[in-house]
């Protein structure tokens, strides 16, 4: 996959140059318009094929270079994103199929009325449908959404991360690359048949110059520090998630009423912002390490693009960029609204300072750039094709700007965790009496169960482990 970058980048520049030259032609006759449209469509298809090939290579290579499972998962989830976005661009899902690129090619084929062309288009589409049935099901698309947008229930995000399979994602990538190979053969055949003029890029869009300008030095210090912190943060996250799942686990194992876990849910939800902060940190640390270990300029640039997405989407869920985002955010629902009820002056001062800093980030145009975020996430958004825009944005993305975005967020995360911890403590005090009242019946049930377990004849060590687990829940309720 590493060799793809040295092979494909110059080809990519040549195809973009050819497309932009054809777009400048003054075409008037109806027949020439159709041919001109066909030329541009096939060239854009080849450009897309090369970009997504490099995209998949970037994230799968980042996965293969990682040293820990948490970091692998952060890279692997983007393999799923790229295949789903790539398939969506080409063939679409549901109602969006009418906007898909392949539908555009099919319509052109009808006008040109070339039977061989139509047959080859149908053959590629049939193989694509087989891929969709196996690798692009509803569940795969939901997982794509969890990767890009996170979720209001971060435990759902963690569950997805925990079950990602390196083998499955590698198989998914191989299957999609096979479709891209079929498309490349298809394109080459009809570039020759329809005599599409190819123009070599004279300066490769000055990639050599941009590579010298867009340089972020590191002597492996940051790379190694992030490796240690990734493992530490991942372990902490796993422990927190395990604690959040205890009420439901006990409810299921002891056949308790649903009010048991529901009564503890307000407390569990106060932890959600903290879990989301962990996700942002792990994602950013993994991506920065992927950037620092990249071997070529475009590979680095694809990873910069991911930093942009993580910062934009992570902050959107954390605090938001407008009133609508803010009211849905973890900060508003789980932290700000809780602490506003406090009479502690120090808490209120910390809240005001933290909110001021978050507001400043929300107004930062480098971070709050919805158009760039759309281009970096979607190869095509409805009828708007972003492939050429993405190509130029990739070349010119500046690592100093993207790293600065990361640092702005990373610097405020520890302070946020401190405020979130205060919110959890305050919420606990507010809810404590309610929880005790609602769970008195449950406590009686647990005492009865403990008594029964103590009388059973099972392995003493296992018996004690189970008793300890139930006592932990009892202490939590008390």
Per-residue pLDDT tens over the stretch 222-248: 899 899 889 999 999 999 999 888 888
Q: Give the pLDDT score at 34.
A: 85
Shared domain for 236 and 120, answered yes or no, is: no
Residue 211 lies in a domain: no
Least confident range from 197-211, 220-234, 341-355: namely: 341-355
Digit-coded pLDDT (tens) for 426-470: 766 665 555 555 555 566 666 766 676 677 666 777 667 767 766
Shared domain for 33 and 170, answered yes or no, is: yes
Residue 253 lies in a domain: yes
Percent of the chain with pLDDT over 70: 91
Shared domain for 361 and 462, answered yes or no, is: no
User: Does residue 203 have a pLDDT over 60?
Assistant: yes
Residue 246 lies in a domain: yes
Residue 205 lies in a domain: no
Q: Give the pLDDT score at 458.
A: 67
Least confident range from 255-269, 375-389, 455-469: namely: 455-469
Shared domain for 398 and 467, answered yes or no, is: no
User: What are all long-range contacts of 329-334, with beta carbons under 8 Å and residues at least 24 apart?
Assistant: 330/152, 330/272, 330/273, 330/276, 331/273, 331/355, 331/358, 334/269, 334/270, 334/272, 334/273, 334/420, 334/423
Residue 34 lies in a domain: yes
CA dist., res. 443 & res. 447, Å (int): 6
Residue 433 lies in a domain: no
The domain tally of the chain equals 3
Digit-coded pLDDT (tens) for 307-336: 999 999 999 999 999 999 999 999 888 888
Residue 430 lies in a domain: no
Shared domain for 56 and 181, answered yes or no, is: yes
Q: Give the pLDDT score at 29.
A: 62
Digit-coded pLDDT (tens) for 271-313: 888 899 999 999 999 999 999 999 999 999 999 999 999 999 9
Shared domain for 148 and 247, answered yes or no, is: no
User: Does residue 473 have a pLDDT over 90?
Assistant: no
Shared domain for 132 and 246, answered yes or no, is: no
Residue 206 lies in a domain: no
Shared domain for 162 and 120, answered yes or no, is: yes
Q: Are 54 and 395 in contact (CB under 8 A)?
A: no
Shared domain for 381 and 268, answered yes or no, is: yes
Q: Give the pLDDT score at 134.
A: 95
Q: Give the pLDDT score at 191.
A: 93
Digit-coded pLDDT (tens) for 6-61: 899 999 999 999 999 999 887 766 568 888 899 999 999 999 999 999 999 999 99
Q: Give the pLDDT score at 262.
A: 84
Q: Are 348 and 341 in contact (CB under 8 A)?
A: no
What value, to the nearest 5°, has the Cα angle with vertex 106 and ends 105 and 111?
Answer: 95
Please give the residue range of the domain that contains residue 405.
221-425
Q: Dihedral of the CA atoms 426, 431, 435, 436 (nearest 10)?
A: 70
Shared domain for 248 and 383, answered yes or no, is: yes
User: Does residue 338 have a pLDDT over 80?
Assistant: no
CA dist., res. 122 & res. 126, Å (int): 6
Q: Give the pLDDT score at 408.
A: 85
User: Does residue 171 have a pLDDT over 90?
Assistant: yes
Q: Give the pLDDT score at 31.
A: 62
Does 160 or 217 have the greater pLDDT score? 160
Shared domain for 148 and 264, answered yes or no, is: no
């Amino acid at each position: 996959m590493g060799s793809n970058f040295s092979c494909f980048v110059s080809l990519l520049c040549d195809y973009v140059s050819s497309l932009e030259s054809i777009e400048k032609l003054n075409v008037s006759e109806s027949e020439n318009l159709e041919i001109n449209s066909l030329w541009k469509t096939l060239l854009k298809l080849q450009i897309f094929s090369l970009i997504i090939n490099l995209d998949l290579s970037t994230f799968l290579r980042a996965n293969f270079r990682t040293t820990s499972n948490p970091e692998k998962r952060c890279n692997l989830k983007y393999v799923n994103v790229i295949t789903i976005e790539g398939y969506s661009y080409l063939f679409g899902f549901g109602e969006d199929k009418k906007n898909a690129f392949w539908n555009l090619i099919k319509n052109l084929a009808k006008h040109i009325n070339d039977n061989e062309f139509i047959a080859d288009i149908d053959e590629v589409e049939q193989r694509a449908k087989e891929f969709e049935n196996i690798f692009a099901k509803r569940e795969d698309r939901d997982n794509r959404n969890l990767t890009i947008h996170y979720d209001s229930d971060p435990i759902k995000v963690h569950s997805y991360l925990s079950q990602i399979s390196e083998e499955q994602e590698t198989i998914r990538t191989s299957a999609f690359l096979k479709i891209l190979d079929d498309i490349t053969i298809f394109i080459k055949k009809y570039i020759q048949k329809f005599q599409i003029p190819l123009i070599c890029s004279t300066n490769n869009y000055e990639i050599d110059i941009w590579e010298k300008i867009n340089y972020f030095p590191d002597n492996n210090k940051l790379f190694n520090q992030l490796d240690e912190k990734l493992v530490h943060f991942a372990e902490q996250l796993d422990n927190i998630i395990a604690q959040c799942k205890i009420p439901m686990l006990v409810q299921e194992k002891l056949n308790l009423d649903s009010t048991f876990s529901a009564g503890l849910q307000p407390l569990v939800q106060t932890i959600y912002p903290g879990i989301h902060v962990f996700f942002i940190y792990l994602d950013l640390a993994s991506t920065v390490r992927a950037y620092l270990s990249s071997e070529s300029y475009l590979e680095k640039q694809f990873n910069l693009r991911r930093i942009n997405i993580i910062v934009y989407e992570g902050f959107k869920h954390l605090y938001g960029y407008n009133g609508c985002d803010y009211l849905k955010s973890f900060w508003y629902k789980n932290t700000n609204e809780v602490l506003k009820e406090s009479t502690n002056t120090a808490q209120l001062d910390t809240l005001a300072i933290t909110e001021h800093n978050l507001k400043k980030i929300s107004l930062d145009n480098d971070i709050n750039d919805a158009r760039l975020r759309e281009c970096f996430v979607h190869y095509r958004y409805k009828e708007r094709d972003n492939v050429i825009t993405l190509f130029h944005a990739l070349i010119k993305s500046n690592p100093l700007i993207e790293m600065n975005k990361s640092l702005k967020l990373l610097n405020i995360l520890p302070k946020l965790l401190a405020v979130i911890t205060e919110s959890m403590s305050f919420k606990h005090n507010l809810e404590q009496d309610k929880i005790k009242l609602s769970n008195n019946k449950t406590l009686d049930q647990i005492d009865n169960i403990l008594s029964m377990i103590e009388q059973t004849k099972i392995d003493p060590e296992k018996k004690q482990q189970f008793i300890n687990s139930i006592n932990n829940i009892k202490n939590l309720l008390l």
